[in-house]
Amino acid sequence: MNYYTPDDAQLKLRSTRFVRRMFAMRQLGTFLCFLPILSVLMEMGRGAGLCGLLFINAFIWPYTAYRLALRSRDPTGFERKNLTLDAAFGGAWVALMALSPFPSVIIIAVLISDRYSAGGWAQLKSALQAFMLAFLLVWGVEGAPLLINFSARTVWLTLPLASVYLLALSVVSHHLTLSLRQKNRELERIALMDPGLKIPNRRLFERRLESEYLRTHRGEGSAWLMLLDVDHFKQVNDTYGHEAGDFLLAEISALLRESVGLKDIPARFGGDELCVIVRDADENSIMLLAAQIKQRIARLRLPASSTFECSVSIGIAPASSAASIHEWLRSADEALYRVKRTGRNDVHIWRAATQES
């Protein structure tokens, strides 16, 4: 019996997407190559058997390669081998066309662009080696023919390959670039969020703290820093267990997200300390917000105890009175320490005029 993890499923999905994308591009490429190659072969008077092989390569091989890749244990790895085999086919057909200049140059240019886009230098190197090996082998067997002239028909039939395929390759590459950017942004967002509390972590908090401090001192608004410390949090862990402590922090975090404004930034400061960067508030509104938060936190209960009562100590400092980001943070911390020193379960605002601590 086979067991698949979520990572296995994601890997399989990515591999399948890669194979399907290559299948679509292979179908388009072999069809567009079929036209100019057939034109040159007809002008050279080559037999129907060779034209039949060209038809198989153009219309049957793409589907065959697709099915073989999907059925393999490693679809991505198998498909990369198919891409190398495609290059070998390309080298053989360039040799059979006796190096007819216009279609040969376009086919080589398309091959280089496509393989580098699909797998970087490693894929391109493998493709070029396969191309040259097949070309030299077939060209030598054919007696090293060289066809310098080409007809207007061949030129017209080569133009779609030079334009349509490269346009399609550009569209696919652009789509992949946008997808990669979105994934990178999502990964960065995840890296900057506390997974348990679903609020920004210390790293993102420090970024936002700096931006809000600079915004305030440019005269573009105001900002307040509110530090919250859960009173006697260690006793919660010791009495009810760490799961209860985690539950309590998660509930308070959810409460903060609901209580603050859309432009305000709740975050985890560290341990059992949470914080909120409040934008464009005055002293009255920041005190009202702190009182509302305290009241809502006081109504929280633990699943293990309906009589449990939670309280928090809150220290607040404005960005406008701080000479630096560190001083702003230190002022809020001093305000919080004052609440703890005078009995906890209260709110205090640091004021520069009186240098309270």
Contacts 24+ apart (CB under 8 A), 87-90: 87/111, 87/115, 87/126, 87/127, 87/128, 87/130, 87/131, 87/134, 88/130, 88/131, 88/133, 88/134, 89/57, 89/61, 89/134, 90/33, 90/131, 90/134
pLDDT of residue 294: 93
Q: In CATH, what class is 198-349?
A: alpha beta
Pairing of strands 347-349, 312-318: parallel
Q: How far apart are CA 42 and CA 262, in angstroms?
A: 70
Going from the C-alpha of 216 to that of each of 179, 200, 222, 333, 342, the distances in angstroms are 36, 21, 5, 19, 31
Q: Check residue 300 and give left, alpha or beta (phi > 0: left; psi -120 to 50: alpha).
A: beta
DSSP helix/strand/coil, 267: strand
Domain ranges (residues) in the chain = 6-190, 198-349
Helices 242-259, 233-240: crossing angle, 10 deg rounding = 130
pLDDT of residue 19: 84
pLDDT of residue 187: 61
Residue given tokens 């401090």 in the structure block: 213
Q: How far apart are CA 64 and CA 284, in angstroms?
A: 73
- pLDDT truncated to tens, each residue of the chain (357 aa)? 444 444 555 656 677 888 888 888 888 889 999 999 999 999 888 888 999 999 999 999 999 988 998 888 888 888 889 889 999 999 999 999 999 989 999 999 888 888 888 788 888 899 999 999 999 999 999 999 888 888 899 999 999 888 888 788 778 777 766 766 776 666 656 666 777 777 888 888 888 899 999 999 998 889 999 999 999 888 888 888 888 888 999 999 999 989 988 889 899 887 788 999 999 999 999 999 999 999 999 999 888 888 888 999 999 999 998 999 999 999 999 999 999 999 999 999 998 654 554
Query: How many other CB atoms sit within 10 Å of the CB of residue 243?
Result: 12
Query: Nearest Cα to 60, choosing from 30, 90, 25, 15?
Result: 30
pLDDT of residue 4: 43
Phi, psi dihedrals of residue 76, rounded to the nearest 5°:
-65, -45
